[in-house]
Amino acid sequence: MLELAWLILVFPALGALVNLFVGDRLGERGIHVVASGMVVLSFVVSLGLFFGLAGLDEHHRTATVHLWDWITVGSFHAPAALLIDPLSVTMALVVTGVGALIHIYAGGYMHGEQNFQRFFVYLNFFILAMLVLILSNNFVGMFVGWEGVGLASYLLIGFYFDRHDESYGHYADAGKKAFLVNRIGDFGMLLAVFLIWTSVGSVVFEEVHHGAGALTAGAATAICLLLLLAATGKSAQLPLFVWLPDAMAGPTPVSALIHAATMVTAGIYMVARTHFLWELAPVAGGLAAWVGGLTALMAATIALTQVDLKKILAYSTISQLGYMMLGVGVGAYAFAIFHLVTHAFFKALLFLAAGNVMHGLPGGELDIRKMGNLRAKMPTTFWLFLIGASALAGLPIFSGFFSKDGILLHVANFNIPLYLIGLFTALLTAIYSFRAVFMAFLGEARDQHVHDHAHESPAVMTRPLWVLAFLAVVGGALNLPVLLTMEHYLEAAVGAPAFHPNVTMEFVLLAVSAVVAVAGVGLAYGRYVKGPSTGVGRISGGVARLVSPLELVARNKWYVDEFYAAWIVGPLLGLSVWFNQVVDQGVVDRAVNLVGQVSLSLGGNLRKMHNGLVPTYALSLFCGVVALLLWFVIGG
């Protein structure tokens, strides 16, 4: 069974190719069936792999499926091979499973769109790239998937390239932003790969794992810091998270796919995959934990102030990814992956439910200030969204509760301030997720026009969501002690955690988390259902004067975009202009003038200064000659 693992890649590739070349003859329905069918088949293969692995001995649940020798240059060897182990299979199940549901949903959502065919080609390509990323058994293969995901996301986020509006600007720019920010992360990834190769002599995970002992602490730290840069880019962490909220410009199924199943989880997966390096580099791990914790907090505060339903969810994703980063940072790899899985369930659910809201409201309205009492008009969507929000808020019994708590448990052991940040973020999470629920679905309708035209979505758009809702509720059971222990299952791939909490501590922290989550929901209820229904969610009373400046900062996303515009993009463009105008035309031309004046005083027969170009070029060349001669004759 395991030898057939390559099929998992073939299906989406086939789907993309078929739709690309003969899609226009298949019609909408045909395209949809091919695209989703292929991902479902991939999911079936993933299931097969899962059971195949389960049949193996518990400590040797890992297999390499060698496809072909991809690159062999001197001693450098990168095979095209798949690594099948609990970690990659878990990821593959999530990607193909959630991906398949999103594909099915997208058939309804994109119905009647002009570029239906292109959309599904991109979507299948996206799944393919993500699978290459998680299944490759070496860094180079992973990098291929890494870039492929970036490219696919760029194509999909910019899908509505002809649109632009206030909140996203030109939609095509959003895609470009995502791609370019990711390139900065890729830069870290590529350098890390080089460093690994020069210090360990291999890029195959298994061999690097075995050879990692030879790494010095400095080298390991350097590698991990570069990997962290890569992860912050892909997984939208501080300081590179700016692209993710803008990525909402894409069609909603794409947002669901990017946020839930693919793309953003790549960074977390990569860290878990390279856990053996992080164990050698506690400094980098600590930094990752802090980056994660602060990202979680910051994104949660921003989410609290957003009024666009999808943007709330976008910031919540960043915040939840912060949790995962926090988890891998403190060494709780299994829990981070566990949270990744549950998050995939409930975030996909939330996005698709939000998609239903958008779909059912006139003009694709997303402003929660204009909603209210939608429960009456779209009850199914309400329940679905409620389940998702409960899981996100970490209410007991729901899946998010267990996975988030697992991470916090390990964080508490690692660093108390970080734990407090995590806990406070949990409170904020509960508040903002239920703020969205209450403002959108409960209370009274604030915009009668919107309310009147609201309608429930067709079955094709609600049925897949029930599957996700089911998973979002019971997903926590994956890691219930004794029953199904995902934590234990993943140990073969990511190693056993160094820390085993005692039961008392576990229960105390569990109780604290539960209380915090419920308190958050209670606060939101008091504020948004009982309180005045007009506000954006401003905290009133004496506290307001204290927190309002902070809120202003938060509502403006902590001015990160502005910071970039002022300090990074501006100077870079400025530098380019500077090269173009000042260096080429200013400095060089001036130098020509100077030479001319010298020659005036010497020969006295030059009439007037000319800014001809050939002389300029010759002068530039000559300056190079002089510089080189000086270097070699004096410096050498």
Partner 1 sequence: MVETSYYLVLAAIIFTVGATGVLLRRNALIIFMCIEMMLNSVNLTLIALARQWGNLEGQIFVFMIMAVAAAEVAVGLAILIANVRHRQSINIDEINLLKW
Partner 2 sequence: MDTALLFDNAVVLLPELVLAVGVMVLMMVDIGRRGQNGSQLLAGLSVAILLLGIGASVMIWGRAPVEYLDGAISDGFALSVRLVILIAGVLGVLLSRNWFPAIERQGGAFYSLHLLAVIGMMLMGTATNLIVLFIALEIFSLALYILSGFYRENARSIEAAMKYFLLGAFASTFFVYGCALLYGAGGSSKFTQIHETLATGGGNPSLVLPGIALLLVGFGFKVSLVPFHMWTPDVYQGAPTPVTAFMSVGTKAAAFAGFFRLMMTALPSFHDQWAMPLAILAVLTMTVGNLTALRQSSVKRMLAYSGIAHAGNILIALVAGTAAASSAAAFYLFAYAFMNIGAFTVTIALERQYGNENDVEQSRLAGAAERFPVLAAAMAIFMLSLSGIPPLAGFFGKFLVFKAAVEAGWAWLVVIGVLNSAVSAYYYLRIVVAMYFQQPEQAGDEKEQPFVPASRSSVFVVVVSVLAVVVIGLQPGLWADLLRGLGQ
Q: Kindly state whether residue 634 participates in binding partner 1, applying the rule CB under 8 A.
A: no
Q: Kindly state whether residue 474 participates in binding partner 1, applying the rule CB under 8 A.
A: no
Q: Kindly state whether residue 615 participates in binding partner 1, applying the rule CB under 8 A.
A: yes
Distance in angstroms (rounded) separating the CA atoms of residues 213 and 194: 18
CA distances from 484 to 251, 295, 476, 495, 569 (A): 36, 31, 10, 18, 49
User: Which residue, 27 or 586, has its beta carbon nearer to partner 1?
Assistant: 586
Distance in angstroms (rounded) separating the CA atoms of residues 126 and 41: 16
User: Which residue, 263 or 298, has its beta carbon nearer to partner 2?
Assistant: 263
Element (H, E) at 398: none
Among 540, 593, 597, 599, binds partner 1 (CB under 8 A): 599
Among 556, 585, 593, 597, binds partner 1 (CB under 8 A): 585
Among 610, 627, 630, 631, binds partner 1 (CB under 8 A): 610
- Residue 573 exposed, middle or buried by CB count within 10 Å (0-12, 13-18, 19+): exposed
Q: Kindly state whether residue 587 participates in binding partner 1, applying the rule CB under 8 A.
A: no
User: Which residue, 167 or 620, has its beta carbon nearer to partner 1?
Assistant: 620
Minimum CB–partner distance for residue 569 and partner 1 (Å)? 22
Element (H, E) at 65: strand 63-73
Q: Kindly state whether residue 606 participates in binding partner 1, applying the rule CB under 8 A.
A: yes
- Binding region for partner 2 (CB under 8 A): 69-74, 76, 140, 143-144, 147-148, 151, 158, 161-162, 172, 175-176, 179-180, 183-184, 186-187, 190-191, 194-195, 197-198, 572-573, 575-577, 579-580, 584, 613-614, 616-618, 620-621, 623-625, 627-629, 631-633, 636
Tell me which stretch binds partner 1 (CB under 8 A): 338-346, 380-388, 568-576, 603-611. Answer: 603-611
- Residue 549 touches which of partner 1, partner 2, none (CB < 5 to 8 A by kind)? none
Partners of residue 78 on adjacent β-strands: 71
The gap from C-alpha 308 to its chain's centroid, in whole angstroms, comes to 19
User: Which residue, 556 or 576, has its beta carbon nearer to partner 2?
Assistant: 576
The residue count for binding partner 1 (CB under 8 A) is: 17
Among 455, 505, 611, 631, binds partner 1 (CB under 8 A): 611
Q: Kindly state whether residue 571 participates in binding partner 1, applying the rule CB under 8 A.
A: no
Taking the CA atoms of the chain, what radius of gyration do you get in angstroms?
27
Tell me which stretch binds partner 1 (CB under 8 A): 160-168, 214-222, 432-440, 599-607. Answer: 599-607
Tell me which stretch binds partner 1 (CB under 8 A): 177-185, 242-250, 301-309, 612-620. Answer: 612-620
User: Which residue, 549 or 603, has its beta carbon nearer to partner 1?
Assistant: 603
Q: Kindly state whether residue 559 participates in binding partner 1, applying the rule CB under 8 A.
A: no
User: Which residue, 6 or 187, has its beta carbon nearer to partner 2?
Assistant: 187
User: Which residue, 242 or 592, has its beta carbon nearer to partner 1?
Assistant: 592
- Residue 596 touches which of partner 1, partner 2, none (CB < 5 to 8 A by kind)? partner 1
One DSSP character per residue, 604-616 reads ----S----HHHH
User: Which residue, 525 or 578, has its beta carbon nearer to partner 2?
Assistant: 578
Minimum CB–partner distance for residue 103 and partner 2 (Å)? 23
Locate tokens 């209450």: which residue? 438
User: Which residue, 459 or 623, has its beta carbon nearer to partner 1?
Assistant: 623
| Beta-carbon count within 10 A of 613 CB | 11
Distance in angstroms (rounded) separating the CA atoms of residues 277 and 250: 35
SS (H, E, C) 580-595: HHHHHHHHHHHHHHHH
Backbone phi, then psi, for 366, in 5-degree steps?
A: -125, -5
Angle at 92 between CA 109 and CA 491, to 5 degrees: 140
Minimum CB–partner distance for residue 636 and partner 1 (Å)? 18
User: Which residue, 483 or 614, has its beta carbon nearer to partner 2?
Assistant: 614
Residue-level length of the chain: 636
Q: Is 594 within 8 Å of 622 (Cβ atoms)? A: no
Q: What contacts 383, CB < 8 A, 6 or more positions away?
A: 469
Q: Is 65 within 8 Å of 79 (Cβ atoms)? A: no
Element (H, E) at 262: none
Calculated CA dihedral for residues 469, 473, 476, 478, nearest 10 degrees:
-60
Distance in angstroms (rounded) separating the CA atoms of residues 95 and 348: 11
SS (H, E, C) 446-460: CCHHHHHHCCCCCHH
Structure tokens at 153: 């996301």
Q: Is 475 within 8 Å of 399 (Cβ atoms)? A: yes
Q: Kindly state whether residue 612 participates in binding partner 1, applying the rule CB under 8 A.
A: yes
| Beta-carbon count within 10 A of 385 CB | 28
Q: Write the DSSP symbol of residue 295.
A: H
- Residue 285 touches which of partner 1, partner 2, none (CB < 5 to 8 A by kind)? none
Among 618, 627, 628, 630, binds partner 1 (CB under 8 A): 618
Among 76, 507, 622, 631, binds partner 1 (CB under 8 A): 622
Q: Kindly state whether residue 596 participates in binding partner 1, applying the rule CB under 8 A.
A: yes
User: Which residue, 78 or 517, has its beta carbon nearer to partner 2?
Assistant: 78
User: Which residue, 175 or 292, has its beta carbon nearer to partner 2?
Assistant: 175
Minimum CB–partner distance for residue 604 and partner 1 (Å)? 12
The gap from C-alpha 131 to its chain's centroid, in whole angstroms, comes to 15
Minimum CB–partner distance for residue 176 and partner 2 (Å)? 6
Among 55, 548, 584, 630, binds partner 1 (CB under 8 A): 584
Tell me which stretch binds partner 1 (CB under 8 A): 9-17, 206-214, 396-404, 605-613. Answer: 605-613
Distance in angstroms (rounded) separating the CA atoms of residues 472 and 348: 9
- Residue 599 touches which of partner 1, partner 2, none (CB < 5 to 8 A by kind)? partner 1
Q: Kindly state whether residue 614 participates in binding partner 1, applying the rule CB under 8 A.
A: yes
Calculated CA dihedral for residues 133, 135, 138, 139, nearest 10 degrees:
20
User: Which residue, 336 or 588, has its beta carbon nearer to partner 1?
Assistant: 588
N-term to C-term CA, the chain: 65
Minimum CB–partner distance for residue 573 and partner 1 (Å)? 16
Q: What contacts 163, CB < 8 A, 6 or more positions away?
A: 170, 171, 249
Structure tokens at 406: 């697992």
Q: Is 240 helix (H, G, I), strand (E, B) or coil?
A: coil
- Residue 161 touches which of partner 1, partner 2, none (CB < 5 to 8 A by kind)? partner 2
Residues that bind partner 1 (CB under 8 A): 580, 584-585, 595-596, 599, 603, 606, 610-615, 618-619, 622
